[in-house]
Chain A
Amino acid sequence: MISSIVFVVLLGAASWLFGRNILRIRRNILLGRDVAINDRKSERWAVMTRVALGQSKMMVRPIVGVLHIIVYAGFVIINIEVLEILIDGILGTHRVLSFMGGFYDFLIGSFECLALGVLLACVVFLIRREGLRVKRFWMKEMTGWPRSDASIILFTEIALMMAFLLMNAADFALQGMGQDHYITAGAFPISSVLAGLFDFHAIQPSSLILIERICWWFHIIGILAFLNYLVVSKHLHILLAFPNVWYSSLKPKTELANMERVTGEVKSMLDPAIAPPVASARKVEGVEMPERFGAKDVFDLNWKQLMDAMTCTECGRCSSVCPANLTGKLLSPRKIMMDTRDRLEEVGKVIDAKGKWEDDGKGLGSRITDEELWACTTCNACTEACPVNIDPVGIITDMRRYLVMEESKMPGSLTTMSTNMENNGAPWAFAQSDRLKWTE
């Protein structure tokens, strides 16, 4: 009875905290400019099925791809077990779903195999990160919190899987002893071996029950804690990957969206009879936000770009194929996404603390330098590589737009290029009247 109450209280608190943080993330994402993305729905479902559900882009690197699919399948499927844990926890029952008989045995047996798979995959991932030191996990932006974040996730998953298997091993031994509460149910291909290995059959039933209970509580508290860890961690990708891929661009990668307001301005410059558009402002968290050309802060990006930032799990595949990064430039597309996310969270914290947005004098530029922005070749290797269809090039271009159109800041050679284009319709200083000289 007491344990049921403790369980319900824990479950309620964890769910409330999780719900509150998810709503905050949603609010933060919606700080971005509005953009309508709801066309070509059947194509979007197909892309989501292939890329998010089917993890097609993870398989570009097959070994890691397969390991990741094991962890992913394990996460999704083993969580069916959580359903039983919830019912047992609330009602004080034990293995309440065991009435399913043979199918239950099959389920528990599969969970065990997957749990072992997840455990081994996470160990390999840890070795790759910390032992083999795969280069993209050791780039400049991967120090401090991002690196601990990755390790915490892997260690937690290993601990959760170990608790799950150990719990089953104790249960298996108790079932063999004919203990009342521990009805004979389930198949234990892995934990039966564990039970033998630790000689569980020689241990007092009371001690075994203690082991089983500790593991049970550790497993469920661990899951609830992990649920709440997601929302402050890069691990959020397990939830956001799906909507992020659904909403990702279906257009050719190198197509940049048209800036409608600029079209209005240019048309009025070319034809004085057309009135220039009126600059609109929108209200964000109680504050009038002027419409800017390009992106100075997260408010100037659209909500999909902010969702991209929140979805990034810092795998670094983008940076590992970026021509600028490969040749030692400061630019790392992953860092662009991490900086955007960190700035968004910084803004969110101000809103949480003050109830509305108060300008803190910072922006994306406080984290992302001009040098990084100007190193991009817009080759889209990063967007191609991203397993969840994140687009760093769009953010880079929007930040360049702000620098150029609002601050008139660009490398001198690009000023020359622009002047040439304005004066003679070519990026070089050749006259338009000489356009046919190549025929001579």
Chain B
Amino acid sequence: MSEQVHVPTIAEFTARGETPEVLFWVGCAGSFDDRAKKITKAFVRILNAAKVKFAVLGQEESCSGDPARRAGNEFLFQMQALNNITVLNGYGVKRIVTACPHCFNTLKNEYPALGGSYEVMHHTQFINALMKEGRIKVEGGSFAGKRITFHDPCYLGRGNGEYEAPREVLLKLDAALIELKRSKQNGLCCGAGGAQMFKEAEPGNKEVNIERSEEALAASPNIIAAGCPFCNTMLTDGVKHFNMEGDVQVMDVAELVANAADL
């Protein structure tokens, strides 16, 4: 994945006196993590294929502050949030889409109390809407009949009650959607939330991502679908732990759609 993609910044739009349809909030993982960058690119391919007039903040984007708030550092969270809100409000941003459930939760639920109110969507919701509007079409294709299971990100599912959008998208791939034993409201965390991604786990007898990956592998899927860059990392590591990376792929919903539609 070394293709060059053109991604307009919101500053470019503003300079032309135009307003994008939606702001794509890339997030720190999506910008810097090698695995998550592929998800970002896949989502951009979808946006371009659907001819969505979107923009990114680019160098003006900063961490949403989610891990700082969960780690108890409210000062740092609010510094991040207030600075981001100044930038977002400065550009008159109304709609935001992001591929990270943590950014999604923070921007959608926690920024309003600090003066930043936007319509915020998770990318699986956005892709689902594009499909329903007929702006992108996926014809069966490479994933038809494949066993795909969806791991619910806590901050999308339990946190914000969105269980159906990612599943509706996966069903449009003509895939055989299989549910894990613990799914939707009862979904098991991948182990990365609450700032755990950035620290070592406390002593125990197992890693959370191993517990979850074991459960996912027990469903014998061809693909484990994720909707969060952190879940993706945790499950990828878990699948490797069981030496199953040759048989089972961990992929984001956006990557599946982009590949199926051959974008």
- A interface residues, Cβ below 8 angstroms from B: 251-259, 262-263, 265-267, 269-270, 293-294, 321, 323-324, 326-331, 371, 374-381, 384, 397, 399-405, 410-411, 413-414, 416-418, 421-422, 425-428, 430, 432-440
User: Contacting A400 at CB < 8 Å: which of B58, B72, B75?
Assistant: B72
**B69 / chain A contacts, CB cutoff of 8 Å:** 256
Query: Known contacts A384-B185, A422-B76; is A439 also within 8 Å of B208 by CB?
Result: no
Q: How far is the CA of A263 from the CA of B111 in the complex (A)?
A: 12
CB atoms of B72 and A379 under 8 A apart:
no
Interface residue count for B (Cβ, 8 Å)? 76
CB atoms of B70 and A258 under 8 A apart:
no
B199 contacts the other chain (CB 8 A): yes
Known contacts A269-B79, A436-B59; can you find 8 more A-B pairs with CB under 8 A?
A: A254-B154, A255-B110, A330-B202, A417-B67, A421-B63, A425-B63, A435-B59, A439-B6
CB atoms of B198 and A417 under 8 A apart:
yes
Q: How far is the CA of A427 from the CA of B73 in the complex (A)?
A: 13
**B30 / chain A contacts, CB cutoff of 8 Å:** 438
User: Contacting A378 at CB < 8 Å: which of B5, B9, B160, B193?
Assistant: B193
Q: How far is the CA of A426 from the CA of B197 in the complex (A)?
A: 13
CB atoms of A377 and B194 under 8 A apart:
yes
**A440 / chain B contacts, CB cutoff of 8 Å:** 2, 4
Can you list 14 pairs linking A and B with CB atoms under 8 Å apart?
A: A252-B105, A254-B105, A258-B114, A294-B72, A331-B202, A378-B70, A404-B72, A405-B75, A413-B198, A417-B198, A418-B76, A432-B61, A435-B58, A436-B56
CB atoms of B201 and A435 under 8 A apart:
no
Q: How far is the CA of A263 from the CA of B70 in the complex (A)?
A: 16
Q: Write the nearest CB–CB distance from A195 to chain B, whole angstroms.
A: 48
**B1-54 interface (Cβ within 8 A of A):** 2, 4-7, 9, 26, 28, 30-33, 37, 40-41
B158 contacts the other chain (CB 8 A): yes
User: Contacting B41 at CB < 8 Å: which of A270, A399, A432, A438?
Assistant: A438
CB atoms of A436 and B79 under 8 A apart:
no
Q: How far is the CA of A282 from the CA of B120 in the complex (A)?
A: 38
CB atoms of B71 and A377 under 8 A apart:
no
**B188 / chain A contacts, CB cutoff of 8 Å:** 321, 323, 326, 381
**B191-229 interface (Cβ within 8 A of A):** 191-208, 210-212
Closest to B9 in A: A436
**8 smallest beta-carbon distances between A and B, as pairs:** A254-B159, A400-B72, A328-B205, A378-B194, A425-B62, A379-B189, A328-B204, A404-B72
Query: Known contacts A331-B202, A438-B40; is A377 also within 8 Å of B196 by CB?
Result: yes
CB atoms of B110 and A413 under 8 A apart:
no
**A254 / chain B contacts, CB cutoff of 8 Å:** 105, 109, 154-155, 158-160
Q: How far is the CA of A410 from the CA of B109 in the complex (A)?
A: 26
CB atoms of A377 and B199 under 8 A apart:
no
**B40 / chain A contacts, CB cutoff of 8 Å:** 438
B166 contacts the other chain (CB 8 A): no
Closest to A440 in B: B4
Which of B75, B108, B212 has the most C-beta atoms of chain A within 10 angstroms of its own C-beta? B75
Q: How far is the CA of A414 from the CA of B70 in the complex (A)?
A: 11
Q: How far is the CA of A374 from the CA of B67 in the complex (A)?
A: 13
**B82 / chain A contacts, CB cutoff of 8 Å:** 263, 266-267, 270
User: Contacting A411 at CB < 8 Å: which of B31, B80, B200, B206?
Assistant: B200
B245 contacts the other chain (CB 8 A): no
CB atoms of A403 and B72 under 8 A apart:
yes
Q: How far is the CA of A269 from the CA of B75 in the complex (A)?
A: 10
**B72 / chain A contacts, CB cutoff of 8 Å:** 294, 397, 399-405, 410
Q: Write the nearest CB–CB distance from B36 to chain A, whole angstroms.
A: 9
Q: How far is the CA of A432 from the CA of B80 in the complex (A)?
A: 13
CB atoms of B195 and A417 under 8 A apart:
yes
Query: Known contacts A426-B32, A439-B6; is A379 also within 8 Å of B26 by CB?
Result: no
Q: Write the nearest CB–CB distance from A387 to chain B, whole angstroms.
A: 13
Q: How far is the CA of A438 from the CA of B3 in the complex (A)?
A: 10
Closest to B198 in A: A417
Q: Write the nearest CB–CB distance from A279 to chain B, whole angstroms.
A: 14
Q: How far is the CA of A438 from the CA of B6 in the complex (A)?
A: 11
Q: How far is the CA of A331 from the CA of B208 in the complex (A)?
A: 13
Query: Known contacts A253-B158, A427-B63; is A327 also within 8 Å of B198 by CB?
Result: no
**B158 / chain A contacts, CB cutoff of 8 Å:** 253-254, 379-381, 384
CB atoms of A252 and B28 under 8 A apart:
no
Q: How far is the CA of A257 from the CA of B205 in the complex (A)?
A: 33
Q: How far is the CA of A167 from the CA of B235 in the complex (A)?
A: 62
User: Contacting A438 at CB < 8 Å: which of B37, B155, B159?
Assistant: B37
**A438 / chain B contacts, CB cutoff of 8 Å:** 26, 30-32, 37, 40-41
B130 contacts the other chain (CB 8 A): no
Q: Write the nearest CB–CB distance from A376 to chain B, whole angstroms.
A: 5
CB atoms of B32 and A384 under 8 A apart:
no
Q: How far is the CA of A266 from the CA of B85 in the complex (A)?
A: 14
CB atoms of A380 and B154 under 8 A apart:
yes
Query: Known contacts A294-B72, A323-B208, A377-B154; is A427 also within 8 Å of B186 by CB?
Result: no
Q: How far is the CA of A330 from the CA of B193 in the complex (A)?
A: 17
Q: Write the nearest CB–CB distance from A392 to chain B, whole angstroms.
A: 12
Q: How far is the CA of A263 from the CA of B65 in the complex (A)?
A: 14
**A328 / chain B contacts, CB cutoff of 8 Å:** 203-206
Q: How far is the CA of A152 from the CA of B108 in the complex (A)?
A: 47
CB atoms of B31 and A414 under 8 A apart:
no
Q: How far is the CA of A404 from the CA of B28 in the complex (A)?
A: 23
Closest to A416 in B: B198
User: Contacting A262 at CB < 8 Å: which of B75, B105, B195, B207?
Assistant: B75
Q: How far is the CA of A255 from the CA of B200 in the complex (A)?
A: 24
Q: How far is the CA of A330 from the CA of B72 in the complex (A)?
A: 19
Q: Write the nearest CB–CB distance from A20 to chain B, whole angstroms.
A: 39
